[in-house]
Amino acid sequence: MKSFFLQLKDKLTQPKEEVQEEESFKEYVELDHEQEEKSKIIVRPYTMEEFEDIKPVLDALREGSTIALINIRPLKDKDIIELKRAINKLRKTCDAIEGDIAGFGEDYIVVVPYFAQIHRAKEEALE
């Protein structure tokens, strides 16, 4: 405690010029511009015409910087069982990356990574 008061006394009795010099030597953190570019989010549209079209969507989601807007209408018209398989695969991948998935209208599905959340009007009405 005594040393604290001695340091305080020294600070108060120092000329102003010395105090200003000490403050000007504070360390600063330099931001890496390249790192900022890598963290950009991509909103990417996809169309699912068959079950195999899900692979590029899953790969992009696993990278972690893509929000996927998936048009499921062609697969819905073609084969509802394959559509259910594809949605289950999307849901499992979404759970694995701790993301969120929701229907957007009747023809679209939105899948977002862990750092985003999909607004649901029903949740707001329940609160």
The pLDDT, as a whole number, for residue 25 is 55
Assess if CATH 3.30.110.150 describes domain 34-126: yes
Which candidate, 61, 54, 70, 69, places its Cα nearest to that of 99? 61
**Rounded to an integer, what distance in angstroms lies between the CA atom of residue 46 and that of residue 69?**
6
pTM over 0.75: no
Q: How many CB atoms lie within 10 A of CB 18?
A: 10
CA-CA distance, 76 to 97, in Å (whole number)?
25
| pLDDT tens string 72-102 | 999 999 999 999 999 999 999 999 999 999 9
Q: What is the pLDDT of residues 2-57, one digit of tens each?
A: 677 677 677 667 665 554 555 555 666 666 655 555 568 899 999 999 999 999 99
Cα-based distances in Å from 36 to 31, 40, 100, 116: 8, 7, 24, 18
- Average pLDDT of the segment spanning 105-127: 80
On average, the pLDDT of the chain sits at 81
